Structure 1
């Protein structure tokens, strides 16, 4: 079966030497720091084209931290006058090297991103460098979570980190052993350096491959390293509405979200760029809890609450155990039509019009830090009326009158994610519910 997309569509043309638009310190020798991993130990290589950057820069600028994050953006040609002067809010840019003669072919899109790993090290190798992160121009990265995840690994060893595609067929056609680059590829410094040293030879060995992600995997395999999959890297090879997935995220730090140009806006009544900025307002307060699902119950009404921190909240009009609520509602469609299931690397549940199965849906509205209680308050407002009768089997307690859900959470980030958090419904009135998030007690059962 021939697919209509390139699995590594973020591997755009890379690298022709041009001056940086912003200054960087570029020490050429490495003395690996023994200090705990922090953002200064990472460099980002972000790939775009001059044409795409006009409408995609808002994605990158939503998470890029000027003068803090290190890295650069690779374009296929010099920016047009409309993009100049180059703003401080964007990563500094470079234009890709022309490697057509090296590979003796004109179509080098797949190889350019791989070659970019070498180019990035050539320009931004510095004395404290521990990790190289490569990504796409329509991907959102959660850099605090990236740092926390990478800090758990020994950066002096060979590590190749990233995520599978959630779409089963993508993995089957390309590889179950590759990181899908739209969701980000993270390489420890020694592995990136070894890959750079063998870059030209490897690109020639695999010149026949038309996937940049698969080429990267093949080159790394020849060095002797294999993928360490990360659940928080999201390639998002889907179409349509991904709210069902984002509302039931696994218990793992959110690292990246890809394919924003191909998906519906993740918030109602906002466009894609507004949705991106809105999501990042919650991320600025606490990335460790982003999209982390917390479930609790209001026994008097027989209601179940499911909170996806910083994104959505749901009320079900009956008591439903976590083992069921953690299964995403299939609001989305696969990247391409397939003859039959399975389509995904995870279980899904179909949308339902049963009033005992269909949730009342609320989306993130605002965030504030409460000084008097030393907590973070996130508010979620009703998206639309559910327009269904009450669930009769659990007492006909309709939640239609609830217009807002307020969630109080600790101001400190989570450092261990071996288990989800728990919550309590602490207050209900005529229009809103108030919920407090906490660590689960020893032996506590969420049911």
Structure 2
């Protein structure tokens, strides 16, 4: 199904390119491939690119594509006629395309912006060859979100352990609420729950090794993750496999649901304006005391340059601007759902959720990037996305599910690695 949808959507993904000349051309137009076609953060990007034109003189010509289509077709896109600059992700996802020769290094950009970034951000922006391929722009935590006003009215308090979490879910159900607004029509939202369950049960290192090596899927540790997960399903939104994350977030906003496991980048676009500060969250609860709540899922978003940009000079100039605190402050002014990656941003202008997000991330011992970023693209969406949906549809058939995942992982990682 995904393959069919991808072929149909491909022309829109690659159908716009810069008219500028040559790889080193000096045209004032830079083409940009965006995965942000929805109203927000599209509006924030439009404000950002207007500011970029004032600051640099560059016109950014954007090909707007929805997030899922962009991800499903990214490899074919980069092998074809991509825009000069494109939205993408740090860590493994950046390194993968760098290793495939589908992206240009941006060492020249980092010679200008490097002083504004931590060593951790720098490490997430490099390929295996030690060169920079990525410019980080914003990042955000995944957590358990809720409406502060609803919780205040009901007298709820944030749980820190699994038993407290389940007890609260039971109470919410008794109160006539959907305890957990869980929606997985698009497949990827459930990956965040898997990541947290795995890190809480088996620890960060086990999780990262599983993601990066593909070894250990048919193990008692992973089986325990799905056993734990099964306890949550009775508290999920009715018909969750047919609902989008936006519909789940609306359940939270409208006080029909009590909690939701999601990223601030997503739910922060639903709780906006006067309702922004009503959005509260707490870390995913502890399951195994050995690991507590020491790991936080905090994906880093940013930009890369295609392998043969038509306007290399303009692309570098644009990224030098986007790597500044000023550019990121402009973005966050229109999209208060993320945190800036560069130092020097005025955090007094952050919303309450943004400020709390900084504290959560800074308190973490380990940061993960998200399943579809920490593992191979050829494994995450084609294998794990439908496998998790299969589990959620038939949660009592874990043994055969893990056997199938394990077999596919061995094949994919052996041929890719």
Same fold (TM over 0.5): no
Greater gyration radius: 1
Which structure: greater helix fraction? 2
Q: TM-score, normalized by length of structure 2?
A: 0.24
Kindly indicate whether structure 1 or structure 2 has the higher relative contact order, using CA contacts under 8 Å at least 6 residues apart.
2
